[in-house]
Amino acid sequence: MLISNRVKSMPPHFFSSLVKKVEAARASGLDIINLGRGNPDQPTPPHIIKALQKAAELPDTHGYSPFNGIPEFRNAVADFYKREYNVDVDPSTEVAIIGGSKIGLVELPLAMMNEGELLLLPDPGYPDYLSGVSLANIRFETMPLLEKNRFLPDFKTLQDEVKKQAKMMYLNYPNNPTSAVADIPFFEAAISFAKENEIYIVHDMAYGGIGFDGQKPVSFMQAPGAKDIGIEMYTLSKTYNMAGWRVAFAVGNADMIKAINALQDYLFISIFPAIQHAAIEALSDNQQCVKDLTAMYEGRRDVLIAECRRIGWDVEAPKASFFAWLPVPEGYTSESFSDILLQKAGVVVAPGHGFGKHGEGYVRVGLLASEERIKEAVERIEKLGIFSSSGV
């Protein structure tokens, strides 16, 4: 089998190995409660589906899309940012249409960086950031996300040589996997740091539509100077349960947007026009579906946290996203704890070490099952005796 050295150098896919473990456990007859995934468990809202159906019946959606996406979609993105964040975006020069934000995050180093240049990545962080590192044959350094710093990077701890060499930096809030949130002062500090060191910022806002306790996550673009130095990527996958539709966009710095579009002209052209019309409906219509989805996740969060605390698991409630980042009990690693939950309780969680060195000591739990199943999952964990004097 012929495989290029570039593909051979790709890092092992963390979620692929987790899926194999889950499949083996399910094949053994276990009733699995899967809280380890990041795939929304609810369907796409009906009005968005109807928009796709209607658009797919139009002959002019059956051909190639314009290279940079249909103008109506770019205009809808600009209107969305003005309405939701009071940010002005030029739809002709400051918006890029992307086939899912994963593509954007993986392709951006290819579009903007030369071989051997340095990318700053959060640790823990989304594992596929490393795919972009391998494909572009660049170097990377990590920025530790520590609980004592509210899981925000401390730029002062970066070595001078790293600051000097870095060309681009990824940020991600609400954060996957920690569920941490950032505020405008943090983004202002990040922009100041980036400008001082001539580093571009890419903010991954995949979970931007999901905030709890009445608090809406802020956009990086709301911070003064953001467009001078960076872009923000926003996917419809989580906010609108459109994960399988593969549609997202980037907004911000015109030069970075131009680089994305230039690469995509060669790789993709653009997305099926009918999907773009459905995305317009998602962004432009009444946002009650987003409010309802957020309320559902918040209810699940409340059940998870209450049940964990009831059995003696000392956990913090996430403020956003559909993940909870929970500490592993003493005497276990992230992997050994996750394996025990799977093998002895049929409960799947994602071990933190899969997200980076500083993910060790935690597990990521998805709010992607019903309240009843989440409660049952914690009851199964309780029976293991891990959080009592009896041990396992």
Tell me, yes or no, whether 141 and 12 share the same domain: no
Tell me, yes or no, whether 92 and 234 share the same domain: yes
Tell me, yes or no, whether 25 and 91 share the same domain: no
Bridge partners for 202 per DSSP: 170, 231
Distance CA 79, CA 234 (A): 14
Per-residue pLDDT tens over the stretch 363-375:
999 999 999 999 9
Q: Is residue 389 part of a domain?
A: no
Distance CA 105, CA 6 (A): 18
Tell me, yes or no, whether 76 and 216 share the same domain: yes
Alpha carbons within 13 angstroms on the beta-carbon side of residue 188 total: 5
DSSP strands (E only) in 73-160: 95-98, 118-123, 139-144
Mean pLDDT of 80-95: 98
Helix, coil or strand: residue 348: strand
* Pick from 375, 237, 236, 370: nearest CA to 296: 370
* Pick from 247, 245, 235, 237: nearest CA to 368: 237
Tell me, yes or no, whether 237 and 107 share the same domain: yes
What CATH number has the domain bearing residue 37? 3.90.1150.10
Distance CA 270, CA 71 (A): 12
Mean pLDDT of 237-248: 96
Distance CA 364, CA 118 (A): 28
| Position 179 pLDDT exceeds 60 | yes
- Note the pLDDT of residue 390: 40
* pTM (predicted TM-score): 0.95
Per-residue pLDDT tens over the stretch 57-69:
999 999 989 899 9
Mean pLDDT of 153-158: 96
Residue 280, amino acid: I
Bridge partners for 166 per DSSP: 118
Only one residue has tokens 């943090």, namely 186
Greater confidence (144 vs 14) lies with: 144
Q: Which two tokens stand for residue 315?
A: 């956990």
Q: Is residue 390 part of a domain?
A: no
Of 268, 284, 300, which residue sits at a domain end?
284
Tell me, yes or no, whether 129 and 205 share the same domain: yes
Q: Determine what percent of the chain is predicted with pLDDT higher than 70.
A: 99
Residue 218, amino acid: V
Q: Is residue 301 part of a domain?
A: yes
Q: Is residue 122 part of a domain?
A: yes
First CA to last CA distance, the chain: 46
| Helix-strand-coil split of the chain, %, nearest 5 | 50, 15, 40
Residue 75, amino acid: N
Q: Is residue 52 part of a domain?
A: no
Of 258, 284, 310, which residue sits at a domain end?
284
- Note the pLDDT of residue 194: 98
Tell me, yes or no, whether 21 and 111 share the same domain: no
Question: Residue 170 carries which DSSP code?
Answer: E
Q: Is residue 49 part of a domain?
A: no
| Position 216 pLDDT exceeds 50 | yes
Per-residue pLDDT tens over the stretch 315-356:
999 999 999 999 999 999 999 999 999 999 999 999 999 999
**Pairing verdict, β 139-144 and 118-123:** parallel
Mean pLDDT of 148-177: 97
Tell me, yes or no, whether 275 and 309 share the same domain: no
Tell me, yes or no, whether 182 and 325 share the same domain: no
Distance CA 375, CA 145 (A): 29
Helix (H) and strand (E) counts in the chain:
15, 12
Question: Residue 45 carries which DSSP code?
Answer: P
Range of the domain at 245: 63-284
* Pick from 80, 60, 33, 14: nearest CA to 376: 33
| Position 181 pLDDT exceeds 60 | yes
Check: CB of residue 35 under 8 Å from CB of residue 368. Answer: yes
Helix, coil or strand: residue 118: strand
Check: CB of residue 97 under 8 Å from CB of residue 73. Answer: yes
Tell me, yes or no, whether 173 and 188 share the same domain: yes
Only one residue has tokens 């230039």, namely 262
- Note the pLDDT of residue 392: 41
- Note the pLDDT of residue 25: 82
Helix, coil or strand: residue 327: strand
Q: Is residue 189 part of a domain?
A: yes
Q: Which residues contact 302 (CB under 8 A, 6 or more apart)?
A: 317
| Position 155 pLDDT exceeds 60 | yes
Work out how many domains the chain is built from and give that number: 2
- Note the pLDDT of residue 13: 73
Average pLDDT for the chain:
94
* Pick from 384, 351, 386, 308: nearest CA to 36: 351
Of 284, 310, 339, which residue sits at a domain end?
284
Tell me, yes or no, whether 195 and 314 share the same domain: no
Q: Is residue 53 part of a domain?
A: no
What CATH number has the domain bearing residue 229? 3.40.640.10
Only one residue has tokens 């009733």, namely 31
Q: What is the dihedral of CA 156, 319, 168, 206, to 10 degrees?
A: 180
Cα→Cα distances 295→229, 240, 360, 364, Å: 34, 13, 30, 20
Tell me, yes or no, whether 16 and 74 share the same domain: no
* Pick from 214, 218, 186, 382: nearest CA to 298: 214
Per-residue pLDDT tens over the stretch 4-47:
888 888 877 777 777 888 888 888 888 999 999 889 999 999 99
